Chain A
Amino acid sequence: MPLDIKSGTIELAHGSGGRAMSQLIDQLFLPAFNNKYLNQKNDQALVTIPGQRIVIATDSHVVSPLFFPGGDIGSLSVHGTINDVVMSGAKPLFLTAGFILEEGFPLAELQRIVLSMAEAAKNCQTPIVTGDTKVVEKGHGDGVYINTTGIGVVSNGLSLSPTNIQAGDKILISGTIGDHGTTILASRQNMNFCSDLVSDSQALHDLVSVMVEAVPNIRCMRDPTRGGLGATLNELSQSAKVGMMLDETAIPVKETVTAITELLGLDPMYMANEGKLVCICPPQHSKSLLAVMRSHLKGREAAIIGEVIEDEHQFVLLKTGFGGKRIIDWRYSDPLPRIC
């Protein structure tokens, strides 16, 4: 019996392991993800991995709203995990996907999400080779949650890690900060912002590939997702037991992001990114690396934003455009808008 994708909804039966679940897999997931591993319909995928240094990353995706300007939970769940894999310098090979669906969720929306996921995976040449679906009762989920796991291989000679970071190294960012977090905030139901802002959600495998080829001794890379650039740099500082000094005027921020965060009393430094990377590299290679990044479509607005320094407190510091200095603190949780 064909699924009524146009007007049907997710039912508990779709997670029961019976025929309903099989229909959902055969008619919605398989045609979208379509690859030889998944099409075997085993509980696992048997794959061959060339080389020996394997990277595995997993990420669960919960986002509200599910569809936002510049992406949706489907593409985001691919980009997020691919980016976690490639920050090691790896080439991504395979993805897995686990869905938690809420009873009553429209099949048409699920298909839209799954097709978007499939397209994102195809664009990264990384097939989704195995998966799982569960259904929770209505009211026990938020429509769709997606977990993805990615597997990749790192070529010999590459060893990216925060422990490589040394005082004097340069800090680079691949583009404007805060686009994703601000887009999500602005597209929530109770916000009446009209803006042309879109999420930066994108996979960075190709940018990373040209970067590690040009400068194999990059110290470390990380994608500043939740918590934004502020949290990521603090994590790196603490892992490497160093300080950092940033130049506020060098950090690229879109005018719309500045405007929206300004209105809400928030700081772009702590807003999430889903298609940007931070890179630390030895000072002598920073200019050539910057040139390589800027010549790539996904790094056109890359900039050197600061320098690693010796600091017993392991603070991330900022020289403000106004001429003063301050700490970029590691926030305890999400920033909350201020009253006035």
Chain B
Amino acid sequence: MKYVNEFRDGKKAEQLAKLIATEAKPEREYRLMEFCGGHTHTIFRYGIDDLLPSNIKMLHGPGCPVCVLPMKRIDAAIELALSPNNILCSYGDMLRIPGRARMSLQKAKSKGADVRMIYSPAEVITIAENEPDKKIIFFAVGFETTTPPTAVVLDQAIKSGLKNLFVFCNHVLTPPAITGILEPAKQKNITLLDGLIGPGHVSVVTGTLPYEKLANTYQTPITITGFEPLDILQSIYMLIKQINAGTCRVENQYTRAVNIQGNTKAQALMSKYFELRDSFEWRGLGEMPYSAIKIKSKYAHLDAEKHFTLVERTGTDNKACECPAVLTGQKSPTACKLFNNPCTPENPLGSCMVSSEGACAAYYTYRRNIKIKNVDSTNNQLRSANKHAS
């Protein structure tokens, strides 16, 4: 498939892997973090770490919007969904996230809640128009990538004069999350990371400028990176070169989608409808100042938090859960005592096991325990058999 196959080419991967192996100095370790859950997913799905020398360690960051949403916000969404006159619209991967007492939106649905899985926020407008007697709540979640579509929902709701549509805003921001990881390490004077694989789709919206200050303050090279496996390999190569040269620049690997300024139209729409929150809790990372946005008070009539009385419950994560350490790159998922038993994607106890983009779920789904011999010879034989038969 055009624009996809080119970025998944095994031969090019082999060439890049050789370049990386040549560039990486064997006497040292390189600790690289991919910020986005999408990157984590790609790394595991394509087995990218099998192509890297053993002294390049990939750490998995907090850029999984589903994973970092605190339990109390899930509980609030469930409560909104269970109210008889409401319809709650949600992206698919939020449905199974456990809240308090193992409840989820999917379970709420089986108890009679009207929960609609949407593929595009535009559907929320259609549902609101078709169900004038119901209150439609859009469970808006995600980083800067999914924020502009939520702004469009608000914009369209106003333009069409919809009185029954509300947005439950849970959008969070990327730069504060990067600060949240790098600042504690800086204060303790330790080097947590040697380089950061920076967000791709987020940067389509924000541009590369917001990362300049971070690279400088934390003396960490950042490469804005696409989500195809070759993007990630190339980005690793670019980071290794910067680390060896001792530079800490922001580089843009994802030039086919990202520029310096970002999408200014989307930014304008976001500024029109949203403002910074003083503080927001992140699952696994705790309260972080100015790390999320809320709907401006001018548009309070569309804000689910203002229209409905939401009871803030304090659901807490399992104490043995190592998600905070996993999300900040301090521990590998398999180092958690709960991993695989009892914490699994069917029974997630921590935030990183809940979404397919979470590091623990990716480990569980794709890696668990791979020790297989003679893979190459088996597959070479297969290729020749298929070729022979065609």
Contact = CB atoms under 8 A, between A and B. Distances in A.
Contact of A191 (B14, B119, B356): B119
A337 interface: yes
B386 A250 contact: yes
A339 B368 contact: no
B99 interface: no
A89 B142 CA distance: 50
Contact of B117 (A259, A265, A336): A336
Interface of A: 170, 190-191, 243, 245, 247, 249-250, 255, 258-259, 262, 264-265, 286-287, 290-291, 294, 303-307, 309, 311, 313, 315, 317, 319-327, 329, 332, 335-340
Interface residues of B, number: 62
Contacts of B120: 190
B303 interface: no
Contact of A323 (B1, B10, B366): B10
Contacts of A259: 1, 4
B357 interface: yes
Given A190-B120, A258-B1, A326-B44, 16 more contacts: A190-B118, A191-B119, A243-B372, A245-B375, A247-B382, A249-B383, A259-B1, A306-B378, A323-B14, A323-B50, A325-B375, A337-B92, A337-B117, A338-B93, A338-B355, A340-B65
Of A258, A264, A265, most buried by chain B (CB within 10 Å of CB) is A265
Contact of B385 (A264, A304, A326): A304
18 contacts: A190-B118, A243-B372, A245-B372, A245-B378, A247-B379, A247-B383, A286-B385, A290-B386, A303-B386, A307-B381, A322-B48, A324-B46, A325-B372, A326-B45, A336-B92, A338-B357, A339-B91, A340-B38
Interface of B: 1, 4, 8, 10, 13-14, 17, 38, 41, 44-51, 65-66, 91-96, 117-120, 123, 141-143, 145-146, 201, 229, 345-346, 355-357, 364-370, 372, 375-376, 378-379, 381-383, 385-386, 388-390
A319 B51 contact: no
Nearest to A291: B389
B169 to A, nearest CB: 15
A10 to B, nearest CB: 25
Nearest to A302: B389
Contact of A332 (B345, B355, B375, B378): B345
A319 B4 contact: no
Contacts of B95: 336
Given A324-B47, A325-B47, A338 B356 contact: yes
Contact of A250 (B46, B141, B383): B383
B378 to A, nearest CB: 5
A327 B382 contact: no
A6 B345 CA distance: 49
B142 A337 contact: no
A190 B119 contact: yes
A292 to B, nearest CB: 10
B366 A327 contact: yes
A325 B47 CA distance: 5
Contacts of B386: 250, 290, 303-304
